[in-house]
Amino acid sequence: MNSKIRKIINKKNKSKIVCLTAYSKNIAEILDKHVDIVLVGDSLGSVVYNYTTTRKVTLKMMLEHTKSVRMGVKKGLLIIDLPYNTYRNKSEALKNSKKAIKATKCDAVKIEGGSKVKEIVRYLVRNKIPVLGHIGVTPQTVKGKFKSKGKTELEKEQLVKDAISLEQSGAFAIVLECVYTDVAKRITKQIKIPTIGIGASVHCDGQVLVTDDILGLTDAKIKFVKKYINIKRIINSAISQFKIDVKSKKYPTKKYSY
């Protein structure tokens, strides 16, 4: 097993795993100074392309963005989301994972789904592709509004089953998205690989969020998103100053001219 992956697994019960998304080099470079994992999520569909569903994200788009992110990530683990309809069966999943790893030099792939994708995960891992699982709310297959998971006993049992089957199939960690606190805690205790929560409580072994959301670049009003800065305001003020300088001929001065 890749030493970077081993390092992530070894953090369980010792130190929280920090993960954020990136879609291009400049942000990735900043993240890499701080986080353990940089994820090129297919959330780029909504964040960058304004799609209402991640289903429209293609492998080609993911590859281009991940190549850009790769330039900024030197020390962290770089993971690519396999987009919708690119892992419908074992051979498709392997072909596309190999293509992604070859083209982007990323360290692992993330795929959505629990027990339903266990054979695909097992096949990828057997073929030396490290896999990050993703259960709870799985945006690629959500119909209608996102609804947190694990409220009913039935849902709780299913989530636990899903987590165990992903662990048994060889996933090195699992993202729990919008999962109720009690079941996130139970899964985290029950499995030996780390859980990485997004809206799944403090009990997970790590946390992931969409970087654009925490920077205030998006207008996301999601319960679990904590905005750490309103970067839009800062950018607005810089752009407005540039406009004033251009209009008033304060820019470019001699310093900025040949």
Q: Which of 23, 28, 36, 43 lies at the binding interface for ligand KIV (CB under 6 A)?
A: 43
* Closest CB 134 distance from ligand KIV, rounded Å: 6
Residues 203-232 binding ligand KIV (CB under 6 A) are 208, 210
What is the C-alpha separation between 27 and 36, in angstroms, rounded?
Answer: 14
Q: Which of 8, 12, 17, 21 lies at the binding interface for ligand KIV (CB under 6 A)?
A: 21
Q: Which of 23, 31, 42, 107 lies at the binding interface for ligand KIV (CB under 6 A)?
A: 42
Q: Which of 82, 131, 191, 198 lies at the binding interface for ligand KIV (CB under 6 A)?
A: 198
Catalytically annotated residues:
177
Three-state secondary structure along the chain?
CCHHHHHHHHCCCCCCEEEEECCCHHHHHHHCCCCCEEEECCCHHHHCCCCCCHHHCCHHHHHHHHHHHHHHCCCCEEEEECCCCCCCCHHHHHHHHHHHHHHHCCCEEECCECHHHHHHHHHHHHCCCCEEEEEECCCCCCCCCCCCECCCHHHHHHHHHHHHHHHHHCCCEEEEECECHHHHHHHHHHCCCCEEEECCCCCCCEEEECHHHHCCCCCCCCCCCCCCCCHHHHHHHHHHHHHHHHHCCCCCCHHHCC
Residues 64-93 binding ligand KIV (CB under 6 A) are 81
Binding segment for ligand KIV (CB under 6 A), chosen from 40-48, 89-97, 160-168, 243-251, is: 40-48
- Cβ-based nearer residue to ligand KIV, 27 or 39: 39
Q: Which of 38, 59, 160, 175 lies at the binding interface for ligand KIV (CB under 6 A)?
A: 175
* Closest CB 39 distance from ligand KIV, rounded Å: 6
- Cβ-based nearer residue to ligand KIV, 183 or 196: 196
Q: Is 163 in the site for ligand KIV (CB under 6 A)?
A: no
Q: What is the binding site for ligand KIV (CB under 6 A)? A: 21, 39, 41-43, 81, 175, 177, 198, 208, 210
